[in-house]
């Protein structure tokens, strides 16, 4: 298979924001966690104002995906935009709303950089901010090449120079930085998945624990997503200055590389990802993706388009 090399647009990374510690919030109000990457901004467009209306006193926290997952599991958050793999590993989560971060092809912000030909990878450094993308990288390497490289973390504050691993996974805004080092190969994992399976890939979902009453917050999450999808150009223009890129580049990323609705194709993609992760021992076979509306992801996704 010919491995595409994906161009790397320039994008400044963002720093997580914690307005207060999640555990310190009044338990009578809803604690919401969202990802502080450009790819998630359309899901929280105007959410703060909506919360003031439908759930006064509720708070929004911005952080890395892996930290949000930890906070939701620990009970420090009531609902969070978590890595999709968390919903495939833990039967104690319910997906709320049809808002998500997904791609139907190249995603630009999830990349595997290799210093050697992909089939020769023996060590892999994983971005500590990632869980879904880390699992996806391991699944793809195992399924395509039979590889199970040794793993090491790449701390959130470290550059690729800090690792001597054969390959390095980067996610989010820092995956879109131009890298000084020249790599032998680069995979855009969204592109590789789409070409291989013919299905979308879902990176993040809004999830909560069963029995958690969110009131009208679910409605607010949907409204924020719908508003964000209508304002992609405005979001791009607003964020571009801080990110150090042209607004047209940010807009192209939001319009062309991301999707924010969890439809039937996305659900099929989730189930296939689940099946492959189970085969590699990276997810529990018994953990179906449960939706607050009681729908369960179909169990017979389309066959892989193997190349």
Does residue 294 lie within any of the structural domains? Answer: no
Residues 91 and 223 grouped into a single domain: yes
Report how far Cα 243 is from the mean position of its chain's Cα atoms.
19
Predicted confidence at residue 192, as pLDDT, reads 96
Does residue 148 lie within any of the structural domains? Answer: yes
pLDDT above 80: residue 131 = yes
pLDDT above 80: residue 26 = no
**pLDDT tens profile 218-241:** 999 999 999 999 999 999 999 988
Instruction: Choose the final residue of a domain: 155, 173, 197.
Output: 197
Residues 191 and 208 grouped into a single domain: no
Residues 185 and 234 grouped into a single domain: no
Does residue 118 lie within any of the structural domains? Answer: yes
Only one residue has tokens 């791609």, namely 103
> Picking from 58-62, 72-76, 204-208, 243-247, which range would have the lowest pLDDT averaged per residue?
243-247
DSSP per residue, 122-138: -EEEEETT-SHHHHHHH
Q: Are 129 and 171 in contact (CB under 8 A)?
A: yes
Q: Are 22 and 61 in contact (CB under 8 A)?
A: yes
- Residues pairing with 168 in the sheet: 113, 125
Residues 95 and 208 grouped into a single domain: yes
Residues 90 and 120 grouped into a single domain: no
Residue 102 phi, psi dihedral angles, 5° rounding: -140, 170
Closest C-alpha to 213, from 31, 24, 22, 19: 31
Residues 95 and 115 grouped into a single domain: no
| pLDDT band, very low/low/confident/very high, at 303 (cuts 50, 70, 90) | low
Q: Are 107 and 187 in contact (CB under 8 A)?
A: no
Residues 159 and 232 grouped into a single domain: no
Residues 187 and 68 grouped into a single domain: no
Domain of 37: which CATH number?
3.40.190.10
Q: For residue 71, give every residue at least 6 positions away whose Cβ sits within 8 Å of its Cβ, in sequence order, or none.
A: 22, 33, 61, 63, 77, 80
Give the integer Cα–Cα distance in Å for 37 and 195. Answer: 25
Does residue 170 lie within any of the structural domains? Answer: yes
Residues 219 and 254 grouped into a single domain: yes
Does residue 10 lie within any of the structural domains? Answer: no
How many C-beta atoms lie closer than 10 Å to residue 25's C-beta?
20
Domain that includes residue 132, residue range: 110-197
CA distances from 275 to 19, 88, 146, 297 (A): 38, 10, 17, 12
Count how many domains the chain has: 2
């Amino acid at each position: 298979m010919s491995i595409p090399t994906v161009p790397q647009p320039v994008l400044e990374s963002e720093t997580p924001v914690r307005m207060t510690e999640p555990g310190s919030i009044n338990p009578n109000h809803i604690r919401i966690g969202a990802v502080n990457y450009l790819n998630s901004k359309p899901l929280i467009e105007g959410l703060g104002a909506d919360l003031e209306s439908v759930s006064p006193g509720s708070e929004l926290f911005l952080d890395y995906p892996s930290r949000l997952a930890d906070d939701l599991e620990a009970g420090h958050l009531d609902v969070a935009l978590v890595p999709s793999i968390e919903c495939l590993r833990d039967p104690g989560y319910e997906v709320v709303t049809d808002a998500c971060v997904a791609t139907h092809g190249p995603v630009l912000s999830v990349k595997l950089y290799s210093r050697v030909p992909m089939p020769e990878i023996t060590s892999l450094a994983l971005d500590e901010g990632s869980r879904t993308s880390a699992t996806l990288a391991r699944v793809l390497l195992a399924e395509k090449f039979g590889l199970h490289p040794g793993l090491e973390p790449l701390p959130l504050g470290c550059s690729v120079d800090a690792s001597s691993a054969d390959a390095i996974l980067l996610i989010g805004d820092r995956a879109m930085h131009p890298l000084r080092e020249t790599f032998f190969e680069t995979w855009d994992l969204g592109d590789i998945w789409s070409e291989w399976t013919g299905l979308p890939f879902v990176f993040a979902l809004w999830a909560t624990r069963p029995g958690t009453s969110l009131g009208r917050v679910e409605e607010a999450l949907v409204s924020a997503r719908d508003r964000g999808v209508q304002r992609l150009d405005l979001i791009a223009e607003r964020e571009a200055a801080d990110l150090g890129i042209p607004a047209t580049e940010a807009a192209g990323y939001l319009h062309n590389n991301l999707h924010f609705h969890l439809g039937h194709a996305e659900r099929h993609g989730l189930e296939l990802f689940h099946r492959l992760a189970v085969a590699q021992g990276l997810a529990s076979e018994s953990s179906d993706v449960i939706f607050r509306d009681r729908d369960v992801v179909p169990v017979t996704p389309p066959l892989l388009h193997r190349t």
